[in-house]
Amino acid sequence: MIAVVQRVLSSKVEVDGKTVGEIEKGINILLGVEKEDKIEDVKKLVDKIVNLRIFEDEKGKMNYSLLDIKGQALVVSQFTLVANLKKGRRPSFENAAPPEKAKHLYQEFINEISKFVNTKSGIFGADMKVFILNDGPVTFILDSKHL
């Protein structure tokens, strides 16, 4: 499971011109599910994300986590994160989980992170427009296989 985690001042996702999820200060998470991912990947990734000290203290040092600042999370499914780009010029999505499994683990991720912070989300499989006001910019790429 791969997540692109961005510290944001605000973020929202629209489907068909309507806002389906919107947050203020917190993190935007773009989430890709791989075919070998399991619920353990969800739990490891959520634990890492909510405890990452990526928010600045009064001295400008990254010392606070999402939990510390009582921030929000916006989770958006993005299967292109798991693309294989080694051969040719067209991405291969052979590593992506089948849609049913990906949707299930995406929802489990939302359920798990919601236990810790106020969480909003996009709509799995929809054509989404994501608006991200990245703060810093601060962006991290996390892979549950390397945590």
Would 51 be classed as within a structural domain?
A: yes
The reported pLDDT for the residue numbered 125 is: 95
pLDDT digits (tens, 9 = 90+) for 136-145: 999 999 999 9
CATH of the domain at 10: 3.50.80.10
pTM: 0.96
pLDDT digits (tens, 9 = 90+) for 60-69: 999 999 999 9
The reported pLDDT for the residue numbered 81 is: 97
Q: Does the annotation count 78 as an active-site position? A: yes
Spatial CB neighbours of 7, under 8 Å, sequence gap ≥ 6 = 26, 27, 54, 55, 134, 135, 136, 137, 138, 139
pLDDT digits (tens, 9 = 90+) for 84-116: 999 999 999 999 999 999 999 999 999 999 999
Q: Does the annotation count 55 as an active-site position? A: no
Q: Burial level of 100, CB count in 10 A (0-12/13-18/19+)? A: exposed
Query: What is the total count of domains within the chain?
Result: 1
Domain of 66, in residue numbers: 2-138
Q: Rounded to an integer, what distance in angstroms lies between the CA atom of residue 124 and that of residue 77?
A: 6
The reported pLDDT for the residue numbered 23 is: 98
Q: Are strands 72-77 and 118-121 parallel, antiparallel or unpaired?
A: parallel
DSSP letters along 45-59, please?
Answer: HHHHHHH---EE-TT
Would 147 be classed as within a structural domain?
A: no
Q: Which residue is catalytic, options 6, 78, 119, 124?
A: 78
Q: Does the annotation count 131 as an active-site position? A: no
Q: What does the chain come to in residues?
A: 147
Q: Which residue is catalytic, options 55, 72, 79, 119?
A: 79
